[in-house]
Amino acid sequence: MNAERPNGRGAADDVADLARRAGQLAGWAARTGFALGRKLPGVETAERGVREVERQLLTELRRRLDEVDDPYHAALTAASAMNRPTAVEATVTLVPARDNHGEPLRAAMAELLNHSIGFGRDRAREYFYAIILRQLTPDEARILSALSDGSPFPAIDVVERTGLGGNGRVVLRNASTVGKAAGVSLPDQVPGYVTRLIGLGLVNLDEEVPTLETQYEILLTDETVRDAEKHVKRAKFVRRTIHISRLGAQFWQACDPSFG
């Protein structure tokens, strides 16, 4: 799956190069405070250029990641090869190849089980982090970067207040000021980004922190929160905080573009 090219480089080497380039670009943008200098002449145009390069690098990185150690990709490739007269028989040790002919999902599971035999602890961790990285959007990476120092950020759910003063349906979940702090491209998608990061185990959701009162008040004026408030007769705001999880901290330490 990690075939060598004539110059001795493989797909994994290409992925590493792309990751370094994307990381260097993101690290440079963070160090120069791009988001804070948008009002300066010419900065907005320059930022669009940076984001476009960043997008192209991340798109290519994701494409390469999809081709490196991806069991489903390997299974499809093997299935395609089996249909060609000159193909070499695919190697799937735990499940016979003949049982997987035309069934890439079963072959993909066999690939994963085979990996579990040959992987050591470090290789398994690298594989796990690569799978997580593949699922992140650029905006979500920015949010994780903003959370990486361990600082908490306010989060608010907008729910419908019932007649007895309880909570009814949730109309907005996990709105947060972390999106603005991270300089995301799609501020209205921050609740979804945060929800996804929580689902991936990279971010934890905890109780309200009173010392963040000012930030909660700012969050209540957020356009996304105010729009959600319009969809209920009586809104109730459930305050929480978000911060990077233990897994998120370990993942960021392994992927932090400012190191290595």
Residue 5 located in a structural domain: no
Residue 56 located in a structural domain: no
Residue 128 located in a structural domain: no
Residue 41 located in a structural domain: no
- The stretches of 68-120 forming alpha helices (DSSP H) are 71-82, 97-100, 104-118
Angle of helix 71-82 relative to helix 104-118, nearest 10 degrees, comes to 120
**CATH code of the domain containing 219:** 3.30.110.190
pLDDT at 112: 82
Question: What is the rounded average pLDDT for all residues in the chain?
Answer: 75
pLDDT at 30: 45
Residue 25 located in a structural domain: no
- The stretches of the chain forming alpha helices (DSSP H) are 11-31, 43-67, 71-82, 97-100, 104-118, 121-135, 138-147, 178-182, 190-199, 213-220, 223-229, 246-255
Residue 10 located in a structural domain: no
Place of tokens 């250029």: 49
pLDDT at 1: 44
Give the pLDDT band of residue 162 (cuts 50, 70, 90).
confident
pLDDT at 80: 47
Per-residue pLDDT reduced to its tens digit, 175-185: 999 999 999 99
Q: Which of 32-41, 68-77, 122-131, 223-232 has the highest mean pLDDT?
A: 223-232
Residue 211 located in a structural domain: yes
Residue 146 located in a structural domain: yes
Pick the more confident residue, 151 or 23: 151
What is the DSSP code (8-state) at residue 212? G
pLDDT at 176: 97
pLDDT at 115: 76
Percent of residues, the chain, with pLDDT higher than 70 = 58
Give the pLDDT band of residue 258 (cuts 50, 70, 90).
confident
pLDDT at 229: 93
What residues make up the domain containing 198?
Answer: 133-255
Pick the more confident residue, 5 or 234: 234
pLDDT at 103: 77
Q: Which of 25-34, 126-135, 186-195 has the highest mean pLDDT?
A: 186-195
Q: What is the tally of structural domains in the chain?
A: 1
pLDDT at 97: 44
pLDDT at 92: 39
